[in-house]
Every structure is written in structure tokens, then in C-alpha cells.
Structure 1
Amino acid sequence: MKAAIILCALMALSECMVRIPLNKGKTAREKLEEQGLWEEYSNKYPYKPMAKFLAQGNGNQQMTNDADLAYFGVISIGTPPQSFKVIFDTGSSNLWVPSVYCNSAACQNHAKFNAGQSSTFRFTNKPLQIQYGTGSMTGFLGYDTVLVGGIQVPDQMFGLSQTEAPFLAHMPADGILGLAFASIAASGAEPVFNNMVQQGLVQQDYFSFYLSSNSEAGSEVTFGGYNPSHYTGNLIWIPLSSETYWQITVNSITVNGQVVACKEGCQAIVDTGTSLIVGPNDDISSLNNAVGASSSYSQMAPVNCGSISSMPEISFIIHGHTFTLPASTYVLQSNNFGCRTGLANGGSALWILGDVFIRQYYTVFNMQSNYVGLAKAV
């Protein structure tokens, strides 16, 4: 249904935090643009695919922002540890990384887990296949020790890929760490955060995300806590409408006070693994038209870069509260393709509030009470 795409050195965290430097190499988007592939890629694959609150049992994981396209951080698996860059994805539930058993092109330019070099690895006889909106991965499941955000999680089930979809070859991340509910985990694998909770490794049954803008440093995910220094005002708690993805009910979407999409209410998932805001084709066309972009584009409609300051805000009415995105936040800018809206047609009635939305609103995922908390990010 969706693609969890597209996340920076291994860290141990106690009282202090380690800042990870940005990757100074070319971004995935820049590489695709140079090859003349960005236009085709972005149209075909719109989903890309925390301080004093920290206490014993809470973990803080720094992430790198890759041109606002993806957020990835480094974890380790095995004994001795083998390091991998992964997307922290609230739109899927499995942890998987490439393995030495994979010969796909996507595995050749990524780190690969070698089970034979880990003294704590245990094989299973369970196959694994995960279908994303932009392709699939196949492999098998194993158990090993995972270190993420300074938290060591023993006996964590994870996937070792044997085949990977071609689009993954363009991504800076090696694998994906899913943070949705166990009910949608492939092959019955227990998600990493669930294991943290069950083993008493975190103090609270929630985790939270801060996503920086414009490739800046500072993006982070916190396990077992949240960071008040990353938001202003109070968290607004929104009940989940489904405990599969982090799914909520949106009342309507307005521009200039007029309802232009989600007119009778709609369902949306809050998804850190999706770059854009995704919705049904008719609604995306209506939104593009309302903000002055071409309604004929189903993915990232072009706009005049000089018009951004005069374009209207988009407001999402959720649980009776208004969450507003100025044009400067929902229009994406590039030296190669100019300016386009961060809106895409998902071919489904289900909306996805991806990174374009989450960059503006600090997000807490409360698994204990089944709520999503939102507050204006700073």
C-alpha cells in the first residue's frame, strides 16, 4: 500500500547526546537528477518510499536528513556489532537489512549482514517477504542483538534480505526499522519497539520524532520519551482509529477557509517513511488547484518559485484542531527541477501524512494509550 523509503554513526547514550555530522556527499535525489532519472522516479515512486527529559531506560537516536527526501540513522546488529543505516519507519513493522546472501543490485552498494561473523545470531526457518508500494524484498528471519539509540535489545527478530527491489539501490539507507504495530508485521516478527517495552528497556510505551528541514542536522527519534525543547505549546493527543498503522481520522482539509479535500472526513496514517503528503487523486488535484499549482499533475505539481510567498496555507482539521502548513513548507524546491508541491496521488482513499507534515509538527507515538501527539515543531 505504501513504500517505506528512505536514514549516522553508532552511538552509546547515557546523560549526553552525540551529534552525527551530515553526509557531505551527493544526496540520492541529486544523483538521480544528474542521471536524468529524477522526473521518472518521483512520478513513479512518490513515497520515499532528544536533553533533560532523557532518563535511564530512554534512548535517543540521531538521524541524518538527506535533502528532505529521507531520514536515516545507524544501528548495529550482532556480536561483534555490524553497523547499518536504516529508515525509522512508522508505516511498517519489520526490521530488515541486506545480507551476504543477497545478490540484487540494491545489495551491492549497501552494508550486508554476515550471520557467520556474529556469535549471538540464531537462524529460523521462517521466510520473509515484504511488499512496498515501490517493490518488495524477500529473505528470511533470524535473531540477534540489536543496538539502537543506546538501547541494547537482545533476541530481536529481524529480516536478512536475499532479493531487493531495484529502487533501493538509489537509497542511502541499507534497510528499514519498522515502528508500526505488530498486527501488520510480516511473518509474525515482533517489532523492535515492542521488544523494548516487553523487556523493560524503556520507561514509557511511546516514542517520538523530530525531523529537521533543509538538510539540517538535529533530526532524532526518541524511544521511551519525548523532548519538549523540540516543540512549542502543548501536545494535542489524537486517538487512533486503527492499531495497524498509526492511523487517525482527519475531519477535513481546507484552503482559505474552504474545504477542498477530505470533505466528509477521511482516514490518514502518520508515516515517517513517506516523503510527501499522499491522498486520493481527486483530492490531490483539488488541493493543487486551490493553492495555484497545476491540477493536472498527480505527483508534485510544478509552481512558480517566485509565487511561494503569496500562496495560501493548507490546513488539516484533525480531532477538532487545526494543523496548518504554509506554502514554504509544502512546496519543495530543487536547483534541478524547480519548485513543486509535496503532494502525491496514492491511488487509495487512505491519506498519508508523511515528512512534509511531520517536519512541521513534533510527533509522539503513544502505544500505551493508542494516541498520536502533535505539537508545533521548533
Structure 2
Amino acid sequence: MLIRNATVLNEGVGLEKVAFVADATNIDDLPIFDPTTVYKEIQAVMAKYDKAESFIRGAGLNAEPAALNPALRAVLDPLSDAATVFNGTVNEYRPYENAAMPTPLEHSTPFTESAEGPLTDDIKGTLDLEYYGGLTFGTPAQSLTVDIDTGSADLWIPVACTECNDAQFDTTRSSTYANMGKPFSVTYGSGSVSGTLARDTVSAGSLTIEDQYFGAVNRVSNDFNNSPSDGLIGLAFSTIATSGKPTFFENLISENKVSAPLFSVSFERQKEYGSEICFGCWDASQAAGPVSWVPVTSKTYWAVSMDGMIVNQKTVPTVLTGIIDTGTTLVYVPSYIAQQFYAQIPGASKATDYGDQFYSYPCSESSSLTISLSFDNKPFSIDMRDFNLGQDGYNSGRCIGGVLSLSNFPDDLAIVGDEFIKSWYTTFDYSHNARVGFAPSIHNTPASQ
């Protein structure tokens, strides 16, 4: 089982800090940018968010899950506040160290559990493509890995899939498996999956939902066959779920299974191991400072108000909905915003050899360049090691920027992926009418100490 209880994290887990393979300010160290995987992600983003405009407007949504019931605010809000206290010490995880556990009030059963699991980073060149971890399915439990995706809301795994290269769930070995007899399919741009809707016991460590709905997928596209994970767990709001069913984490909240109604992710860069997800908890060992909270503007995706992009202290004002998406690698903005953004970087221009989505800039600017995104009038920086995708040719002196331009895309939408999240220990919270929290990550230290 790949996920363990967070309450036993007194072992200094995840504290080591390592040097990035290439210094973004040292041109000689910079690899050549390979656009192959980015081309695939561009297609995926365009299709993944083809209904985003209508969803954010409130059209075509499922009912809000019980986890968002306003009557629970009196319980959930103080639980999250207590769970995210930063005590100024970057060491082991000690829940509620500086705050008393609130009384659960109207809950018949207190929130009692949390689970933390290590994630694996799928690295391709300069890109951290995917972060995935383990869940178990069925009775007795079978272990599979899933891509962690806050930009979608469905859980699926391969079942009786003759064309799948990954590990699969053997339904004949589970005494609790139920095929619901309804078709299930999801398209993620250049990738798609299809099968039937099913139900069974699903667990993350000691956190268990006995009747969790998921897609039992028997057909996958080649893109997913090439993924190192077996399946995918969607952690956006179930209002946009293809299945129409609550997500795994929403069920944990509504069934009183977690200590707080939030989950947090800590992503390493260019390091296969060291990342983690914390269900129902905020791991103080992953934060180098306190949380800054940003309200969610649409309970569909983890959508926040993105009101600016800041380059060397100069702000490009924006009126965008920014979607915080762990399942996307880079940052994507409408083409007119990208043009204004790169106009603030001296010497930047379109990298037409790669396509209209790409810009390059003098690599020498990396040593002095600072870039931040503003959410709800609060600036949050992007580490230059993540923004700089590599040189556009051997010793060219020009580097590809990690903010990509999208045309034929909603002009008020931005997708904020792992390029940004790696700098911030990020918390997705169902309390306080839904919010996202950003604490500076311990992984920002550039060299071993």
C-alpha cells in the first residue's frame, strides 16, 4: 500500500533538499527544449476545458455534493483553520499542535483520520509531467497507481482492458465489486478512456469509502497507455463529474472520515521521489511559511480570481479565472494575455519554429527575471527553474518560456499547472465556502543543505 497514515510522520520524511539538474541562470547547463510532450498537453488542455466556460457560468452541472452543504460551515471552517496552523518550525507533521481540536458540533461522528501518501514524479527532460500515487480497490484490496488531477472530477482504473499496458483491477477477485451497467467515458484532449460505471471499496491508507463510484475502463488511447500511472483520480468538484457521482474526497468529508475537509499537495521538481499528497491534513514539514488563502470563485474546478501577471515588479492586469490544476504541467493563458506578458520580458519574442503557443527570451535574463501570478490581489511567484523550459537550440542563448499562449480558447480563462504549484505547498479546502491555500514550499531551496 503506497499511502500511510499522516499521524506516523515523525521520521523526517521529505525534508531533504536537492539541487536542480540544471541551473536556470547558467546557460551552459541548460538542456535543449523538446516540445513533443508539450504539443500533446496543448491538445489535452484544449479538450479538457472545452466545457469550462459553460460550467463556470453554471450550465450543465451536477448537484453540489453533500461536502459543500452550507449547514456544515460551523463544523468545517474551524477544523480547517486548526489543521493549517503554521508554528514557524519546518520539521515533522504535528496536527493541531498550537490549536485545540474544535468540537464537531452537529456531526454525529467526529472527523477522525488523515492519510499522507508519497507521490512519484514522471520526469521527461526539463518537465515534471505527472505526479501519481497509490490507492487500493476491492475486497481484498488490490493496489493501483493513479494520476493526481485537480482539473477533473472522475476516478477511473483499467478493468479487463486487453489493450492496456498497465496493472489492472481484477473484479473477479473482489467480493464487493458491482457493475452499475451504465457506460462511462472521458476525453482528455489527445487521450480518452471508456468502459462502464462501477462501485467498490476504495482506500487511501486507512481512509476507506465502501461504495465509491468509478469508471471501470476497458479501452484507453495510446497516450494513457504510455502513462506510468494505472488510472486517474479526479479531485475537482463533482459538479463537473462525467459520472455524476461525488468524488472520493467528497465522500470522505460527507462520511466524516477525515480530520479536516481539505487535501494538500507538495511537488518536488526533477526528482522522482519526495512529493506527497495529504488527504485531510496539512503537513507543516512541507511548508516554509504560513498559508495565504484565496477564495474559490466557481465550485466546478478549483477556480480563483487571477487579476494579474507580474514581471520584474511590472503588473500586466488580467481579468481571468485561474484554474489550479495538478494534472497540467505548464501555465496556459489566452493569446492576448501572453503577448502582453512577454512584452514585459526584455528581448522576448514568439518562438515560431515551435508554434504560435511558444515564446522565447534571452537566457541571460533568467538571472534577474522575476515572475509572479496574482490571485485575489495577492502575488505568488514562479520559480525560474520551472519557467525556463530549456534552450531553443544548442548554445542559441534563447530559452523557451513556461507560460504558453492559447488561441481558440476562452479569453477569460487561465490554466495554472505544476510549473506554478511546485513553488507552493498547495491546499484545496472545502471549508469557508471553498478556498485554495498557498504556503511557500520547502522544495524552493535550490541546493542541498
TM-score using structure 1 length? 0.83
Q: Structure 2 counterpart of 1:10, which letter?
A: L
CA deviation map 1:334-353 (0-9, x unaligned): 99999532222343331011
1:219 equivalent in alignment to 2:279: no
1:71 equivalent in alignment to 2:63: no
Give matches, 1:221-260, under 5 Å: 221-260=277-316
Closer, same or farther: CA 137–255 of 1 in aligned 2, 3 Å: same
Shift of 1:111: 1.0
Structure 2 Cα separation of the partners of residues 132 and 363 of structure 1: 23
Structure 2 Cα separation of the partners of residues 299 and 149 of structure 1: 41
SS across alignment from 1:125: strand
CA RMSD of aligned residues (A): 2.7
Partners of 1:121 and 1:142 within 8 A in 2: yes
- The aligned residue for residue 89 of structure 1 is 149
Closer, same or farther: CA 364–14 of 1 in aligned 2, 3 Å: closer
Which of 1 and 2 has greater Rg?
Answer: 2
Closer, same or farther: CA 264–51 of 1 in aligned 2, 3 Å: closer
1:315 equivalent in alignment to 2:372: yes
Identify the match of residue 335 of structure 2 among 276, 281, 305: 281
- The aligned residue for residue 10 of structure 1 is 2
SS across alignment from 1:92: coil
CA deviation map 1:341-378 (0-9, x unaligned): 22223433310111011101111111122111112111
Q: Structure 1 counterpart of 2:350, which letter?
A: S
Identify the match of residue 103 of structure 1 among 162, 168, 181: 162
Give matches, 1:258-297, under 5 Å: 258-260=314-316, 263-291=317-345, 292-296=347-351, 297=355
CA deviation map 1:13-65 (0-9, x unaligned): 26324979xxxxxxxxxxxxxxxxx5344224237778222894011111011
- The aligned residue for residue 171 of structure 1 is 227
- Structure 1, 365-374 or 317-326: larger mean CA deviation: 317-326
Closer, same or farther: CA 366–43 of 1 in aligned 2, 3 Å: same
SS across alignment from 2:289: strand
Give matches, 1:356-367, under 5 Å: 356-367=419-430
Partners of 1:302 and 1:341 within 8 A in 2: yes
- The aligned residue for residue 26 of structure 2 is none
Shift of 1:131: 2.1
1:332 equivalent in alignment to 2:389: yes
Structure 2 Cα separation of the partners of residues 293 and 169 of structure 1: 37
Structure 1 Cα separation of the partners of residues 379 and 287 of structure 2: 16
CA deviation map 1:301-351 (0-9, x unaligned): 4555555324x2112122121112242331134999995322223433310
CA deviation map 1:169-190 (0-9, x unaligned): 2211111101111101112122
SS across alignment from 1:167: helix
Identify the match of residue 128 of structure 1 among 181, 184, 191: 184
Structure 1 Cα separation of the partners of residues 35 and 307 of structure 2: 33
SS across alignment from 1:152: strand
* Higher RCO (Cα < 8 Å, 6 or more apart): 2
Closer, same or farther: CA 335–290 of 1 in aligned 2, 3 Å: closer
SS across alignment from 1:70: strand
- The aligned residue for residue 344 of structure 1 is 404
Q: Structure 2 counterpart of 1:103, which letter?
A: T
Closer, same or farther: CA 39–234 of 1 in aligned 2, 3 Å: closer
- Structure 1, 339-348 or 329-338: larger mean CA deviation: 329-338
- The aligned residue for residue 353 of structure 1 is 416
Partners of 2:157 and 2:217 within 8 A in 1: yes
Partners of 2:157 and 2:216 within 8 A in 1: yes
CA deviation map 1:135-159 (0-9, x unaligned): 3211111111112143222111111
- The aligned residue for residue 157 of structure 1 is 213
Closer, same or farther: CA 355–94 of 1 in aligned 2, 3 Å: same
CA deviation map 1:97-121 (0-9, x unaligned): 1111x234xx1x1112221121111
- The aligned residue for residue 32 of structure 1 is none
How many residues are aligned here? 347
SS across alignment from 2:133: strand
- The aligned residue for residue 237 of structure 2 is 181
Closer, same or farther: CA 14–212 of 1 in aligned 2, 3 Å: closer
Shift of 1:128: 1.0
Structure 1 Cα separation of the partners of residues 198 and 118 of structure 2: 26
Identical columns (%): 32
Structure 2 Cα separation of the partners of residues 174 and 47 of structure 1: 21
5+ residue gaps in structure 2? 15-33, 46-91, 97-110, 443-449
Structure 2 Cα separation of the partners of residues 221 and 363 of structure 1: 10
- The aligned residue for residue 209 of structure 1 is 265
CA deviation map 1:75-108 (0-9, x unaligned): 11112222211111111111101111x234xx1x
Structure 2 Cα separation of the partners of residues 372 and 248 of structure 1: 8
Partners of 1:238 and 1:372 within 8 A in 2: yes
Closer, same or farther: CA 336–120 of 1 in aligned 2, 3 Å: farther
- The aligned residue for residue 51 of structure 1 is 93
SS across alignment from 2:35: helix
Q: Structure 1 counterpart of 2:323, which letter?
A: I
Identify the match of residue 42 of structure 1 among 38, 41, 51: 38
